């Protein structure tokens, strides 16, 4: 797939007509000077589409952005890290709306043309006393080559920034797609704390863009899991401004197929990077299920195995415990026949026909000891297939996530909470 186009530098500002900026606002801690607020904007009108968490508890910025995206002409995205603005009641909604109103005024566009996203600690009011004064700096600082700064500003527990951009030719016209993403914990999206922003200078109708985004999310962010948790803030937002020129890409055409493949690649690379940078993970594990009675059954099996704490712990310990895998297959609620199940680890048969295969345990251990390996499960019933990308579960993950209530201390100083 990647041979159709090539990777280029620039991230979200690689496509024509997009600018961005990032600043340090001390959202979580005013003593820190790390980038934690960013703005992405198109210099020309856009069409936009997005997918958001299906968690029934949704953050204020998710609710606001979903409303604004219904109009389909969002052309700016304001984002902050350090505070999720989730479970903050009416005040949270008012803060999110105020940010979009102020940014819209500064950019001379409608409030409804601004989306807002947040990531960080849940339950704390937004420190508007530090956020609001930085909005003017964000707008005046908009530049073409600030894509990487945005990728850095949206990080929370990530250990490195994540961005990508590609160049391809459709209908004789050069177009670009750029993206950045964040997320290392609370990762089990069902677009459903992960964020992804995508830009393109291709000309696309709103309906077509919505379809492209939905399909790409399904084969990327809906195929990853780190800890089985779904955030209140998961958001994927894509802007298309048509600045490259050329004819509009319509669904069902060869141009649409080529664009969809490129978008799938971009989003899948971002999704995989989230798993590789999962909180204190040491393994990148691909779980392939085939031979299922249906696509849905294959999905059930893959998700059961990829989300099993027991299975993930064995991966962390370099233990090729196929017994834990097959027991997860059994409780997945998919149609299975024990005597038909084959399990391969790193290409070596560990279980054939539901019983132990004639294979060296030392050889299997070497496979699981690798930084990346594949688990293949064949149910040998029909043609259903599904792939998911997962990770191990480490003692360090538990230690890292034991407490984040230290953040409440700063909120108390700001007068935002009495806790």
Where in the sequence numbering do the catalytic residues fall? 193
**CA end-to-end span of the chain, whole Å?**
52
Residue whose tokens read 């500064």: 106
Cβ-contact 416, 125 below 8 angstroms = yes
- Count Cβ neighbours within 10 Å for each residue of 277-308 and write b for 16 or more, e otherwise: bbbbbbbbbbbbbbbbbeeebbbbbbbbbbbb
Q: How many angstroms separate the CA atoms of 310 and 318, rounded?
A: 13
HSE on the CB side for 360, CA within 13 Å? Answer: 5
What are 376's two structure tokens? 């293949």
Burial class (CB in 10 A: 0-12, 13-18, 19+), 147: buried
CA distance 234 to 185: 11
Dihedral angle at the C-alpha atoms of 288, 234, 395, 319, nearest 10 degrees?
0
- φ, ψ of residue 332 to 5 degrees: the values are -70, -10
Length in residues, the chain: 419
How far apart CA 397 and CA 328 sit, in angstroms, is 22
The distance of Cα 144 from the centroid of its chain, to the nearest Å, equals: 24
Tokens of 61: 């910025």
265 closest CA partner among 166, 185, 174 = 166
Parallel/antiparallel/unpaired status of strands 47-52 and 6-7: unpaired
User: Are the CB atoms for 36 and 194 separated by under 8 Å?
Assistant: no
Q: What angle do CA 307, 308, 314 make, to 5 degrees?
A: 120
C-alpha 125/C-alpha 240 separation (Å) is: 32
Separation CA 185–CA 154 (nearest Å):
14
Which residue's structure tokens are 């779904």? 230
3-state SS class at 221: helix
């Amino acid at each position: 797939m990647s041979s159709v186009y090539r990777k280029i530098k620039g991230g979200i500002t690689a496509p024509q007509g997009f600018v961005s900026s990032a600043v340090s606002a001390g959202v979580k801690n005013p003593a820190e000077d790390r980038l934690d607020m960013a703005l992405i904007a198109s210099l020309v009108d856009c069409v936009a589409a997005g997918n958001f968490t299906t968690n029934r508890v949704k953050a204020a910025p998710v609710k606001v952005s979903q409303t604004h995206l219904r109009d389909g002409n969002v052309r700016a995205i304001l984002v902050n890290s350090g505070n999720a603005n989730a479970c903050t009641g009416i005040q949270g909604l008012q803060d999110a709306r105020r940010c979009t109103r102020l940014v819209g005024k500064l950019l001379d566009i409608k409030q409804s043309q601004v989306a807002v996203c947040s990531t960080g600690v849940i339950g704390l009011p937004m420190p508007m006393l530090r956020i609001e004064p930085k909005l003017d700096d964000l707008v005046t600082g908009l530049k073409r080559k600030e894509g990487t700064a945005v990728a850095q500003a949206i990080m929370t527990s990530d250990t490195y920034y994540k961005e990508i951009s590609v160049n391809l030719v459709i209908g004789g016209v050069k177009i670009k797609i750029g993206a950045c993403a964040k997320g290392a914990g609370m990762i089990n999206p069902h677009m459903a704390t992960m964020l992804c922003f995508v830009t393109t200078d291709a000309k696309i109708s709103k309906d077509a863009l919505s379809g492209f985004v939905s399909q790409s999310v399904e084969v990327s962010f809906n195929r990853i899991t780190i800890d089985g948790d779904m955030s209140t803030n998961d958001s994927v937002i894509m802007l298309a401004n048509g600045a490259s020129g050329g004819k509009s890409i319509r669904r069902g055409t060869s141009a649409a197929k080529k664009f969809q493949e490129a978008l799938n690649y971009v989003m899948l690379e971002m999704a995989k990077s989230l798993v590789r940078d999962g909180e204190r993970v040491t393994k990148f594990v691909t779980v392939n299920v085939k031979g299922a009675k249906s696509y849905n059954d294959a999905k059930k099996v893959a998700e059961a195995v990829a989300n099993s704490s027991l299975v993930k712990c064995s991966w962390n310990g370099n233990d090729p415990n196929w017994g834990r895998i097959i027991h997860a297959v059994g409780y997945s609620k998919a149609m299975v026949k024990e005597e038909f199940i084959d399990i391969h680890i790193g290409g070596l048969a560990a279980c054939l026909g539901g019983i132990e295969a004639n294979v060296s345990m030392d050889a299997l251990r070497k496979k699981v000891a690798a930084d990346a390996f594949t688990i293949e499960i064949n149910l040998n019933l029909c043609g259903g297939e599904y792939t998911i990308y997962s990770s191990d579960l480490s003692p360090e993950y538990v230690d890292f996530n034991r407490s984040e209530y230290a953040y409440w201390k700063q909120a108390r100083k700001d007068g935002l909470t009495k806790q």
